[in-house]
Amino acid sequence: MLFNSIDFAVFLPLVFLLYWFVANKKLKIQNFLIVIASYTFYGWWDWKFLSLIIISTIIDYLIGLKLSNEDNKTIRKVLLWTSICVNLGFLGFFKYYNFFLDNFVTAFSFFGNDIKVSSLNIILPVGISFYTFQTLSYSIDVYKRKLVPTKDFMAFSAFVCFFPQLVAGPIERATNLLPQFYKKRKFEYSKAVDGLRQMLWGLFKKIVIADNSAQIANEIFNNSSDYSGSTLVLGALFFTFQIYGDFSGYSDIAIGTSRLFGFELKQNFAFPYFSRDIAEFWRRWHMSLSTWFRDYLYIPLGGSRGGTLMKIKNTFIIFIVSGFWHGANWTFIVWGALNAIYFLPLLLLNKNRINTDVVAQGKNLPTFKEFHNMLITFCLTVIAWIFFRADNIEHAFNYLNTIFSKSLFTIPILDINRNYIMQVGLAVLFFLIIEWKGREKEFAIEKFGFSWKPVYRRCFYVCLIFLISVFLGEEQQFIYFQF
Taking the C-alpha atoms of residue 347 and residue 353, their distance in angstroms, rounded to an integer, is: 9
Residue 121 CA, chain-centre distance (Å), reads: 26
Taking the C-alpha atoms of residue 232 and residue 4, their distance in angstroms, rounded to an integer, is: 29
Taking the C-alpha atoms of residue 282 and residue 302, their distance in angstroms, rounded to an integer, is: 19
Active site residue 326: yes
**For residue 170, cis peptide bond before it (omega within 30 degrees of 0):** yes
Q: Given the residues 286, 326, 372, 395, select the one marked as catalytic.
A: 326
Contact call for residues 130 and 160 (beta carbons, < 8 A): no
Report CA torsion sign: 381, 382, 384, 385: positive
As annotated, the active-site residues are 326
